[in-house]
Amino acid sequence: MKLRVLGFFLICAIVGFSLIVQARITNGQQLYVSAKTITDYKTSIQTEIEDKERIEQLIVEAEKKLQEYEALAGGGDSELKGKLVEELDHYKLISGNTAARGEGVVVFVDDGTRDLFEGEDPNTVLVHDIDILTIINDLNRSGAEVLSVNGQRLMNGSSISCSGYTIRINGQFFARPFEIRAIGDSKRMAAALIGPDGYGTLLQEYGVIFKLTIRDDMTIARYTEPQNYKYMTKAKEEE
């Protein structure tokens, strides 16, 4: 009997001691993990898995590219050089550093020559910078890949503004008439400008001279102005 009492007392003492230690470790507060915390952990784990898969894919692509170059190098310097020149030509084309060729449209715009109605504003039959901008925007929306105005290649940073009787494009001044060239889907671009609601049709109704010609093959000169990037640098992949 005394042994049972002593044993029960020891068990109570051990349990009590454990509770005291646990209370000290948690500062007397009950630990609780919310469902949101568990979800956040799951999301973090999934993100890490996706990043790992993406990195593995990049490694596979890099190894494939390396094997391609090694195979070209094994076949001779001329073959490797040809591959590098091909890639260089591609980047020069999309950056505007070389002339572009393909099907497209040529748009001719000039001031109107019709007689004005009594009290009519003369600006109605004159070409303005907004007219050139609208035509270019319509061409871009129709899938134009390369554009030029009076031989001046247009880039992403190109600007067009009115300056007296001339229009300023890429810092250079151009007087009427204006010839806009666009390489792309010629039929789609033509339909956008000379359709029932096209801007070219509207200009013709005002009396502005507007002509559009479809070309199966034409050339647009390269961008000749300096391209200086002071603030843009290559971004690193987000971790």
* Average confidence score pLDDT of the chain: 79
- Residue 64: what pLDDT? 80
User: What does the pLDDT average to over 98-107?
Assistant: 93
Cα distance between residue 215 and residue 52, in whole Å:
50
- pLDDT, residue 132, reads 92
Q: Is the pLDDT of residue 200 over 90?
A: yes
Q: What is d(CA 90, CA 74) in angstroms, rounded to the nearest whole number?
A: 24
pLDDT > 70 in the chain, percent: 74
Interval 128-142 mean pLDDT = 92
Average pLDDT over residues 60-78: 71
**pLDDT score of 67:** 75
Q: Is the pLDDT of residue 135 over 70?
A: yes
Listed range (33-42, 206-215, 224-233) with the worst mean pLDDT: 33-42
Query: Would the pLDDT of 15 be above 90?
Result: no
Q: How confident is the model over 116-120, as a mean pLDDT?
A: 85
Under DSSP, the state recorded for 231 is S
Q: State percent of the chain over pLDDT 90.
A: 32
Would the pLDDT of 74 be above 70? no
Instruction: Inform me whether the pLDDT recorded for 138 exceeds 60.
Output: yes
* Digit-coded pLDDT (tens) for 147-156: 999 999 998 7
Query: How far is 148 from 106, CA to CA, in rounded Å?
Result: 10
| Cross-strand pairs, 73 | none
Mean pLDDT computed over 60-86: 70
Task: Tell me the backbone φ, ψ of residue 26, rounded to 5 degrees.
Answer: -95, 10
Cross-strand partners of 36: none
Query: pLDDT at position 25, please?
Result: 47
- Of 195, 236, 188, residue with least CA distance to 214: 188
More confidently predicted of 13 and 182: 182
In single-letter form, the type of residue at position 105 comes to V
* Residue 60, pLDDT above cutoff 90: no
Q: Is the pLDDT of residue 31 over 60?
A: no
Tokens of 229: 């990037």
Indicate the length of the chain as a whole number: 239
Q: Record the tokens describing residue 13, joined without a space.
A: 């003492």
Mean pLDDT in residue range 4-29:
52
Give yes or no for residue 137 having a pLDDT over 70. Answer: yes
Q: In what order do the strands lie in the sheet with 100-110?
A: 152-153, 146-149, 178-183, 100-110, 209-220
- The fold adopted by the segment(s) 100-220 is Alpha-Beta Plaits (3.30.70)
Distance CA 1, CA 18 (A): 26
